[in-house]
Chains A and B, each alone.
Chain A
């Protein structure tokens, strides 16, 4: 590992179909990713918020179902699992690209090439790819720490990037 000269020359980022970052905030450097990216800390906290939301939802559904009957409790487990899957596909694949956690942390999922929404199909691919990222002790998540485009494995497999909303505002 070596230290890099912090004085990087001013240079315009390549056009990736998304609005360029404001000139006053040097979030992009020629050696770094091709545009502003959400940092590890923000993504981690957003994931924890999503985990909390889904856990509470699961406990409420299961609690209500189990209080009525054992069979309904089991049914509610399947409802909760389906809901959790839909949560990621619909919210990350939708126009905003934001789950509740990402909305709280002001970050969103966008297409790597266009800067627009990834759509529900690739939202589903992203969800399945999450499990691949988790398999080798979450190596696929940590990958963003040293990846040039700050992408996890599920980002790469769905050709998406996670970006700060201040640079890629949600357009409705």
Chain B
């Protein structure tokens, strides 16, 4: 089972707080700005194949705008990331540890979701 679970990764608290603030700040800016700002996915632009993070901008913005249905439809990782970012920013600043297997499983699951959403699978 250790093989599947992978090794323990101690996550840097400062890195997580920076990334969380960046995520929520950009989502709030995008929600407030006119139009639909966003960075197109280079992989999808080049090949037509989505990556695991495709739809994440829409999903995170929809979560901030309290539209969970659109958020999950675009990318189910968005609401989870927003909740995680809030917990990191508002919770006690402690060192966190994650299993590498969990990271790779999450990336694989998100990719399958996006491949299905774009009718590749």
A residues with a Cβ closer than 8 A to B are 1-4, 6, 29, 31-32, 39-41, 44, 134-139, 142, 144-148, 150
* Main SS at interface, chain B: mixed
Produce 1/0 per residue, B23-47, CB < 8 A to A. 0000000000000000101110010
B residues with a Cβ closer than 8 A to A are 7-12, 14-16, 18-19, 22, 39, 41-43, 46, 51-54, 56, 94-98, 100, 102-103, 107
Residues from chain B with Cβ under 8 Å of A1 in the complex: 96-98, 102
Query: Considering only CB atoms, which chain A residue lies closest to B103 in the complex?
Result: A146
CA distance A138 to B23 in the complex (A): 13
* A151, chain B: closest CB distance, angstroms: 12
Query: Considering only CB atoms, which chain A residue lies closest to B21 in the complex?
Result: A41
Partner pick for A39 among B15, B41, B53, B102, CB 8 A cutoff: B15
Find out whether the CB atom of A40 lies under 8 angstroms from the CB atom of B12: yes
Known: A4-B95, A39-B18. A145 touches B43 (CB 8 A): no
Residues from chain B with Cβ under 8 Å of A2 in the complex: 96-98
